[in-house]
Amino acid sequence: MKTWWANSQANTVWKCLPSRKSSKKATATEDAVRKLSDDVELLLARPSTDECRNDSDNELCKDVQKQLHTILDLLKELSRDENDEPSVQTLKAKQKYKDIVEEFVAADLPVQLLAQLTSLEFEARKDVMNVCCALLWHGLPAEVAAQVLGYLRYHPSVFHLLVESYSNEEAALHCGVVLRSFLRHTDLVDAFLSSGKVFELVRHARHPCIDIASDAIYTLRMVMLTHAEVSGPWLLANFEEFFALFNPLLECEDYVVERQALTLLTGILMDKHFQRVMIVYVSNDRNLQIVMNLLLDDSTIIQAEAFHVFKIFVVNPQKPERIQRILVKNKEKLVTLLESLHSVRSDDESFIGDQQKVIGRLRPMCMPRRSTPKPPEDLSRTNSSISMVSMATTCGTEASGHHAL
């Protein structure tokens, strides 16, 4: 079987991999990789439709599960902490397990199995998902962990495969779990963002199946917020393209999607790693109009969440002229609306305090003098006094006024 990395620039990662050791009486454990490779070849050769499946196909799925259970057991043993000094026999066994897991990865079996999810029965899909997630378990030997991270980071199709699986209801949720397990690692977040597949992920957040749409936006939240030190600069560099796809989620009139998207937006704007993104976002009058419309939503939860974004527009000391004119023009209606808002929690004193401070900022606001507008790009380069810390202090955003799902 040809491996995906045969002609890859990342070949150097694999030069130190141990070769498959032959033995006269190979155990079931030692044979797991070979049998899985054979099973994948059979999966590729058989019809993909359920109508064409027969008893031999069921046996094939069972064998895939059997070999995957073997690999999973090996990963459990490798990640297990040894309280006492391990014996020579234990060390030899662990070395054998490491060789098998390394061979499993080097043969490209994790990605090949993910590619065949829809050809497997439900329980077998779960086993593929569990093994792929277990490859990144904490506690695995350093050399195994390094190989797995290198394999996933430089694989030419793994992120494409996982994101495209959101189009298939049979594979979507399994691949979502796998993708999120990968995105716990900084290097893989960076690789995922560089792949450009995050834009496809945003599109899948509008999937007609609410479970898939929710899973996609949950994964998007993890991409953006788990390692914000990586996603922050990326989002600033890709601001226009990202929000051209993301803003429609806030206007789709689907309660679940709107709420999850709004929660993610609030999380982004309140995170210090997205400070420059926040400055650009609250300088755009189109964004202000979207948030103002959300303040009128029938759901008090969405209204309260939208308020946490709206207040940033109001307290921004460097409001563009267009933003200030919109706020002043709608000042009376906004004040009346804000006075009617209620927190999701009746005991949320922070929300009430923020509410009064924002109203206090709005009431004396007046029309700005006409001036030559600054180019939009100047806003993204500004290192002004409008910091996340000062803004949070002004409106108390560090308190419990923001509620996630």
Q: Which residue has the higher pLDDT, 92 or 230?
A: 230
DSSP state of 345: S
Burial 165-202 (b: 16+ CB within 10 A, else e): bbeeeebbbbbbbbbbbbbebeebbebbbebebbebbb
User: Can you list the alpha helix ranges (DSSP code H) found in 46-80?
Assistant: 55-79
Contacts of 370 (CB under 8 A, 6+ apart): 321
Using an 8 Å Cβ cutoff, are 192 and 183 in contact?
Answer: yes
Q: Give the rounded distance of the alpha carbon of 100 from its chain centre.
A: 30
Instruction: Quote the CA–CA distance of 224 and 228 in Å, as a whole number.
Output: 6
User: For residue 45, what are the CA distances in angstroms to 48, 57, 109, 252?
Assistant: 9, 11, 16, 42
Using an 8 Å Cβ cutoff, are 124 and 64 in contact?
Answer: yes
Instruction: Quote the CA–CA distance of 31 and 145 in Å, as a whole number.
Output: 22
* pLDDT reported for residue 267: 96
Instruction: Quote the CA–CA distance of 192 and 219 in Å, as a whole number.
Output: 12
Instruction: Quote the CA–CA distance of 117 and 232 in Å, as a whole number.
Output: 33
DSSP state of 401: T
Q: Where are the domains of the chain?
A: 29-43+60-77+92-140
Instruction: Match 């955003």 to its residue by tokens.
Output: 397
Instruction: Quote the CA–CA distance of 354 and 69 in Å, as a whole number.
Output: 54
pLDDT tens digit sequence for 28-41: 788 999 999 999 99
Q: Give the rounded distance of the alpha carbon of 177 from its chain centre.
A: 10
As given in the structure block, the two tokens for residue 104 are 């499993």
pLDDT tens digit sequence for 237-268: 999 999 999 999 999 989 999 999 999 999 99
Lowest mean pLDDT among 10-14, 170-174, 192-196, 252-256: 10-14
Instruction: Quote the CA–CA distance of 53 and 59 in Å, as a whole number.
Output: 11
pLDDT tens digit sequence for 214-230: 999 999 999 999 999 99
pLDDT higher than 50, residue 187:
yes
* pLDDT reported for residue 46: 76
| pLDDT band at residue 234 using 50, 70 and 90 as cut-offs | very high
The candidate with the shortest Cα–Cα distance to 386, out of 286, 290, 274, 262, is: 274
| pLDDT band at residue 54 using 50, 70 and 90 as cut-offs | low
Instruction: Quote the CA–CA distance of 318 and 384 in Å, as a whole number.
Output: 9
The candidate with the shortest Cα–Cα distance to 112, out of 68, 74, 72, is: 68
Q: Give the rounded distance of the alpha carbon of 306 from its chain centre.
A: 22
The candidate with the shortest Cα–Cα distance to 275, out of 232, 230, 242, 226, is: 232
Instruction: Quote the CA–CA distance of 348 and 402 in Å, as a whole number.
Output: 10
Q: Which residue has the higher pLDDT, 17 or 199?
A: 199
